[in-house]
């Protein structure tokens, strides 16, 4: 297991689900984490478990001021910033023709715009530390999954942004990569209970025949992209999905 000692990482949506798994895994590997989320109860809980290494910031990631505050918190509490994980994203599942302007707005504000704002806010500190950014794409976007138009569009915009940033920030030794996960989150658990047959059908299409665990299966990929072992990788999309999608 690669150590992340001396690393300081911002994780958006970092208190539960995939983000919670990332926060926990990074801290267990020695990193300090600023977990940004709107869920104060979950935030205080994850902060209390390891207050020396985890700081919680309650905030809406769609707001530029929250991105700036997260960077300030990282520097003030932990003295530096070496990594950024843009995990947070809210969207609504509807057929394309039923999506409202508000549906499109919430997906792009919490997904694409939040990712951009956090990257811009973190840039100067990441330049100092020659740090890394990990953004999130989605298999739903790569597949064009039905009822996912606003989410898929925002995720592919994030991948495009990430490739450009990887090229533009390479001279600063800032690496920018993307992860597309398939994980058993609380939302997926609920879907599994409500529609077990459809859930099983999806699982059977995954070569490793299961959804990933947020901390054990997805978070280590994030840790790899933040660490020294991936220092020659940038602009890439990695699938943490049990082999469901093979990029070419």
- Rounded to a whole number of angstroms, the distance between the first and last alpha carbons of the chain is 28
Tokens 């997904």, residue located: 111
Residue 117 CA to residue 22 CA, distance in Å, equals 20
Beta strands in the chain (DSSP E): 8-12, 32-37, 54-58, 83-86, 132-136, 175-181, 237-240
- The CA distances from residue 60 to 68, 80, 92, 150, 202, in Å, are 12, 22, 17, 19, 32
Which is catalytic among the residues 123, 151, 211, 232? 151
211 classed as catalytic: no
Give the catalytic positions in this structure: 151
């Amino acid at each position: 297991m690669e150590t992340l000692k001396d690393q300081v990482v911002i994780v958006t949506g970092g208190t539960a689900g995939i983000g919670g798994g990332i926060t926990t895994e990074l801290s267990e590997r020695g990193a300090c984490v600023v977990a940004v989320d709107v869920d104060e109860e979950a935030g205080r809980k994850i902060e209390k478990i390891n207050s020396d290494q985890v700081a919680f910031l309650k905030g809406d990631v769609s707001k530029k001021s929250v991105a700036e505050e997260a960077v300030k918190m990282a520097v003030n509490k932990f003295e530096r910033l070496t990594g950024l994980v843009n995990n947070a994203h809210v969207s609504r599942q509807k057929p394309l023709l039923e999506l409202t302007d508000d549906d499109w707005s919430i997906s792009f504000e919490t997904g694409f715009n939040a990712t951009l704002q956090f990257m811009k806010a973190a840039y100067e500190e990441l330049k100092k530390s020659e740090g890394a950014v990990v953004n999130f794409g989605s298999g739903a976007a790569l597949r064009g999954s039905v009822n996912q138009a606003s989410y898929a569009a925002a995720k592919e915009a994030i991948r495009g942004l990430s490739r450009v940033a990887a090229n533009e920030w390479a001279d600063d030794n800032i690496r920018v990569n993307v992860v597309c996960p398939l994980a058993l989150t609380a939302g997926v658990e609920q879907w599994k209970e409500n529609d077990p047959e459809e859930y099983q059908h999806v699982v059977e299409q995954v070569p490793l025949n299961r959804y990933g665990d947020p901390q054990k299966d997805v978070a280590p990929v994030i840790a790899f992209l933040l660490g020294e072992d991936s220092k020659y990788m940038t602009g890439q999309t990695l699938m943490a999905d049990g082999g469901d999608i093979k990029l070419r």
